[in-house]
Homo-oligomer: A and B are copies of this chain.
């Protein structure tokens, strides 16, 4: 230490008592965002808490009820206002006992399997049938009508990691439609290779659609190593039939109650349309809903908190922790129905994990280039570039799309997302705290700008529908 610096330090120490009597200066929005990036404790506390104290939150079950109560209490402890649980009724599907898929012959062994959402039960005794393999949905579609009568269809897609998640649109149909197509051709059940990019014995579940008039059949996802094993069995069986016993016991419970949780940072002018931040609180039953979507709720709530630390915003910031996203966007639909006549200024959703935000899009780049450029300039220091795609909003922003309102998408890096999506491996340890904080910093910056925007944000007409990655399948 030099003498000069020692003197400087002494001067500072002498000045300290006077400083202690001055309230600390309120951070600017930029400082609040930077602080969030450096040491935000709120987002981690939320996602650690809900995954540890509640765990999985399957839609329509008592676990989702506990999730809502936990989240509402957390918002209260963090100083949010106008906290409410808004219930709605919805048809509920539950997964039953852990699935079993046994190869009976010619190579007896167990494969890891999990039922797909909205599929039927085999009954506890299971279904035993010959397996017919298709390498794609297109191959399955080309199978003659009735050719699968009494058979189990096996559809084995391939999927590659992509930063923007675009391969979900490529590989996803295997889960979304293959069971319905197979059922319509007489199949008694369907198994698919998981729509996922990892190589662990953890199946990726998710929603399935059966076409109008086609009765749901049992259907399950094999983990990727197990699907690869079954592919090799076909290569090594020399034409011998491959027989599988499948036991999947999901149930439809009829209508049960689910609900949304809302809370607000009330603005200086609560009469202005609010900024709506959305995520979903439910998860599939296999994991603890850390990246899908505990992290999203953690990010939006932490950002709202940080904006309030930088000063009361002009507009109210409302957080919407939607229920029952995974099983059919029931929370999103119920929220839109209940609040359709209350205009939203702009909507944003976080539902693609917790990895770094790398691009932002809006649907007002052409109608309000000044605001778009202002956001671009403000987030550049976080490594976020301005995109040219029109923002479409997440699954829980139905209300904004229904109102043809303004949307901002903060695009997260999805390279790892489909390693974990809808699997038992969606647990807290998969979240990188540094990347999570970058999310909170970017959200704080963007939400702070939007919540202090004085004029209405004009958009350029109809909003495109959400892409499959965000549509809750």
Contact = CB atoms under 8 A, between A and B. Distances in A.
A468 interface: no
A428 B201 contact: no
Interface string A414-431: 000000000111011110
B199 A201 contact: no
A210 to B, nearest CB: 29
A198 to B, nearest CB: 9
A50 to B, nearest CB: 10
> Which of A63, A202, A233 is packed against the most chain B CB atoms within 10 Å?
A202
A429 B225 contact: yes
A288 B425 contact: no
A425 B232 contact: no
Contact of A48 (B53, B232, B429): B232
A56 interface: yes
A427 B202 CA distance: 12
A249 to B, nearest CB: 14
Contacts of A49: 236
Q: How many copies does the complex hold?
A: 2
Interface residues of A, number: 38
A424 B223 CA distance: 11
Interface string A40-59: 00000000110111111000
A229 interface: yes
A66 B103 CA distance: 14
Contact of A288 (B109, B224, B429): B109
* Residue among A51, A52, A430 with max Cβ neighbours from chain B (10 Å): A52
A427 B53 contact: no
Given A199-B430, A425-B200, A427-B201, A109 B229 contact: no
Nearest to A229: B52
What 5 pairs between A and B have smallest CB-CB spacing? A55-B109, A201-B424, A225-B427, A52-B232, A199-B429
